[in-house]
Structure 1
Amino acid sequence: MVWWLGFERFADPSSPHGFAVTQTVPDRRQLSRVLRTLPNEALQWLLSASVELLRATLPPDEHASFGDTIAGDTQALLAWVKENNPKQYIKEGRLDKTKQPKADPDCKLGVKKARNSAPHDADGDNPPAPTSDAKPARDVQVGVDIFWGYASGIVVTRLPDGSEVVLAERTRPFNESDPSYFFPLMQQVEHRLGRKPRFGAWDCAFDAHYVYDYFHQAGGFAAVPFNPGKKGGKRGFDADGRPLCAAGLAMPQLLTYLDRTSGLIPHRREKCGCPLLTPQPNGQPCPIDDAHFAKGGCTTTLAADAGSRIRHTLDREGQAYKQLYAKRTMVERVNSQAEALGMLQPKLRRGRAIANQNSVTYVLINLRALRRIRAAQEARPSASRTALAA
């Protein structure tokens, strides 16, 4: 990393790198100042360069498939503020989002849920109404369940030697939702690969129609656990893709419109109605005597894209799904490496500094993988020569 960042090196013939690292690297205060002022675009260029170097280590026939299977997730980061310390007395109140911590003007208050909830626009439905089953305040652990901080989102892939490397990363305040990371991360991935990856593994926080539609358009599929949210179970569809009502009848489309408000991106939605009453009542009664029948029949609203159907019809018990979802552990191993490098509790007090430190951390993880690959390649000819001599 010292070499790639361009620090002026102090020669040391006894060092394996040819220079003294401790004398070359600046002190903590200077490095913190650099992290606060350095544009993150410079470090994103380094990350792009590391990805290109990793691709160059592969045989030419594997370049086209590099990064074809990815996994993504977010990791919560604890801000370095007294509000996150339960033992610190704060008269004003530590969990008031309108009272920004003085030590870090960029961090935000957020909740780390034990199980992620489905996005509001999972399949284009209206956001569910609030409920009263929230966790009592007396049971909330400050610094564990709810805290001031940031979140780091990453997309990783696996190399043939088993090494996991980072293709994209993004750090934002902790109050932003997990699904909001999806499109910015995928834009980085497409820029570095030159194409869309075909297969992706994500946790249930990304159970949204646009995630499935993205990988469907790329020619593959997304392995994401189904999250029923507040509305319950899955929908059924007929062979033509029309939703089925509770009685198992295909519901015709009533209208479509462009939704610009309820989701992350504008998307087309469709409203479907009772087939016994639309377009005209046919005189047949509802087979299950549904209470809505007397009031105009059942209606449903959902996103009008393939991803909405795939979300409900994906075979999550099939072998293809299980094999792909098992690769989500790629993210966990990269997060473990980042945690070992001290990323979860950064000793910095500005959003840009924390984002830059995270970018440097992921570049370092990639360069370590590159070093292992090159060391293995250098050892292979030596082993071959030894075998021939024997």
Structure 2
Amino acid sequence: MIPSTAIFDQSQMTHLLSIDPLVQAYRALFSLLDWSLVEQWQSQRSHRGRPAHPMSTYLKAFLVRICEGLPTTSALRSFLLKHPLLVIELGFGLVLDPQAPYGFDEQESIPCDYWLRQQLRSFDRCLLQDLLFATVRSLQEEIPGLGEVVAFDVKHIYAWVKENNPRAYVAERYDKTRVLAGDPDCKLGVKRSSNQEQADGSTKEKKEYVWGYGSGVAAATTAAYGDVVLAEYTQPFNEGDVMYFHPLYQQAAVALQAFPTHVTADAAFDAWYVYEAAARHGGIGAIPKNGHGHPEMQRDTDGVPRCAKGLRMTPRFAFQHTNGYRAQRFGCPLLFPTPTSEACERLSSNHGQGCHKDPNWEAGGLMRVLLDRSSPLYKAVYTQRTSCERINSQAKDLGIERPRLRNRRSIANLNTLIYVVINVRALQRAQSINRGLLQRCSLPLSDSPTSYACLPSVPMHNFVK
């Protein structure tokens, strides 16, 4: 509703909205989101009780908070009070007052800080995910081949608690069993671990602990269009990085409506099932190998292990390992398939059956140990891992690292909206680039060396063999 006032009539108010630069900027941003998802969600809810502000209004308000870099919900409300035309554009139910400059009472029309915080906390997670997936589908229409390579990473988030303030005295600051009064949902985790050399030449591991959360992200990149968020997932910070993979991979597949061909991540994601996800679809997992402190098993090029004497071991039987993968038992070549007269000090071990090995025999397990990490394909895929770092940098600029919130659900909802903003900006950039390409394609080609034709994007695998 556009109010009438003692100063402006409705036609003048409409004109003010059409020329206000802030309103026009957010109108353009909001136009790139699929609000029909919100309307469909709203139609399924009960309409009993007092008329409420539309859910789209609250979502738009928190998108404004992110874009404006407002640290708190109180700062968001103060910002809206200073921009009454934006309040009209967001769609708040206005409390009309013809004597007010803009025809409504701003203080009464905008909900209080408590209610705004409550709305952030109670946002439907499925609705927010659907909004994020809708931006991915819009980006797919603008960027051919998006999502052929998907990168994974985790960004740390500081909880808003005194335990993260080194200047505040806190007894048992790093007791992981504690439930903090400031944020009961946050957990203690390791942000960074490094080895420091001591005076005697030895090394000592130093860890930097943080109370908070981790925001996992799946991202894709293209040279011309930049970086895109495909999926996100927020957990307490005590979870290992690799625990984010399955939720992120599943969400990325839903967003893309297809499985990625290649995956890439840092060494924290070096687990057989990460490689398995790529192997099932003809791709590779470009991940540095992480021994996790275990000695390396000597193998042949086909994955068959060798014993301590360097002999090729004999396959015996396959079985389901307790860690969830299919393993292959290999036995001593001096005993299986038939005993030989050759001596070995290990023949009497393992109840007289000699030494044995049980390597992971899944496609992902074999890829993990046999992958050529010096190949051009591996290097080309691994290079795209930096897309997550750039996404994390953008998210940090939008306030993801130190949210002034005190519960997991609010932080998770704000994180999703931050990634929606990143994708909407990527969509604006992609549409601008494509409009420029269409304008260039409409120009006639000449015979001069500087003339060109517009070429479609070609998937990476056509260049890297």
How many angstroms apart in 2 are the aligned matches of 1:159 and 1:230?
A: 36
Deviation of the 1:57 alpha carbon = 1.7
Q: Secondary structure at the match of 2:260?
A: coil
Preserved CA contact (<8 Å) 1:107 1:150:
yes
Matched, 1:205 2:292: no
Question: Of residues 355, 358, 372 in structure 2, which corresponds to 1:315?
Answer: 372
Preserved CA contact (<8 Å) 1:237 1:309:
no
Preserved CA contact (<8 Å) 1:238 1:244:
no
> What letter is aligned with 2:182?
A
Partner of 1:97: 176
How many angstroms apart in 1 are the aligned matches of 2:182 and 2:406?
A: 6
How many angstroms apart in 2 are the aligned matches of 1:238 and 1:387?
A: 55
Structure 1 residues 238 and 52: alpha-carbon distance in aligned structure 2, compared to 1, 3 A threshold: closer
Partner of 1:80: 160
Kindly report which structure 2 residues correspond to 1:48-67, keeping only aligned pairs within 5 A, or say none: 48-58=133-143, 62=144, 65-67=145-147
Kindly report which structure 2 residues correspond to 1:325-340, keeping only aligned pairs within 5 A, or say none: 325-340=382-397
Partner of 1:247: 309
> What letter is aligned with 2:430?
I
Partner of 2:61: none
How many angstroms apart in 2 are the aligned matches of 1:35 and 1:259?
A: 44
Cα deviation code 1:250-297 (max 9, x no counterpart): 22234433234x4xxx322233221112244211234xxxx5344243
Preserved CA contact (<8 Å) 1:149 1:173:
yes
Segments of structure 1 that go 5 or more residues without pairing to the other structure are: 1-8, 117-132
> What letter is aligned with 1:74?
V
How many angstroms apart in 1 are the aligned matches of 2:411 and 2:321?
A: 35
How many angstroms apart in 2 are the aligned matches of 1:316 and 1:379?
A: 38
Structure 1 residues 15 and 386: alpha-carbon distance in aligned structure 2, compared to 1, 3 A threshold: farther
Question: Of residues 282, 285, 289 in structure 1, which corresponds to 2:340?
Answer: 282
> What letter is aligned with 1:198?
T
Question: Of residues 263, 268, 277 in structure 2, which corresponds to 1:214?
Answer: 277
How many angstroms apart in 2 are the aligned matches of 1:54 and 1:40?
A: 21
Partner of 1:45: 130
Deviation of the 1:56 alpha carbon = 1.5
How many angstroms apart in 1 are the aligned matches of 2:128 and 2:17?
A: 27
Q: Which has the higher mean CA deviation after the structures are superposed, 171-180 or 190-199?
A: 190-199
> What letter is aligned with 1:38?
F
> What letter is aligned with 1:256?
A
How many angstroms apart in 2 are the aligned matches of 1:386 and 1:224?
A: 44
TM-align CA RMSD: 2.7
Preserved CA contact (<8 Å) 2:142 2:434:
no
Preserved CA contact (<8 Å) 2:301 2:370:
no
Preserved CA contact (<8 Å) 2:274 2:285:
yes
Partner of 1:146: 209
Count residues with an aligned counterpart. 342
Preserved CA contact (<8 Å) 2:225 2:426:
no
Q: Secondary structure at the match of 1:300?
A: coil
Matched, 1:70 2:139: no
Matched, 1:368 2:433: no
Preserved CA contact (<8 Å) 2:225 2:429:
no
Give the TM-score, by structure 1 length.
0.80
How many angstroms apart in 1 are the aligned matches of 2:257 and 2:412?
A: 25
Deviation of the 1:188 alpha carbon = 0.8
Deviation of the 1:113 alpha carbon = 3.5
Q: Secondary structure at the match of 1:303?
A: coil
Matched, 1:303 2:360: yes
Q: Which has the higher mean CA deviation after the structures are superposed, 31-40 or 176-185?
A: 31-40
Q: Secondary structure at the match of 1:256?
A: strand
Deviation of the 1:220 alpha carbon = 1.0
Cα deviation code 1:218-242 (max 9, x no counterpart): 1111111111221133531354x42
Deviation of the 1:381 alpha carbon = 5.2
User: Which structure has the larger Rg?
Assistant: 2
Deviation of the 1:134 alpha carbon = 7.0
Matched, 1:270 2:356: no
Q: Secondary structure at the match of 2:217?
A: strand
How many angstroms apart in 2 are the aligned matches of 1:77 and 1:95?
A: 16
Structure 1 residues 385 and 220: alpha-carbon distance in aligned structure 2, compared to 1, 3 A threshold: closer
Structure 1 residues 385 and 294: alpha-carbon distance in aligned structure 2, compared to 1, 3 A threshold: closer
How many angstroms apart in 2 are the aligned matches of 1:299 and 1:113?
A: 37
Matched, 1:15 2:27: no
Question: Of residues 346, 363, 366 in structure 2, which corresponds to 1:292?
Answer: 346
> What letter is aligned with 1:112?
K
Preserved CA contact (<8 Å) 2:135 2:424:
yes
Partner of 1:6: none
> What letter is aligned with 1:312?
V
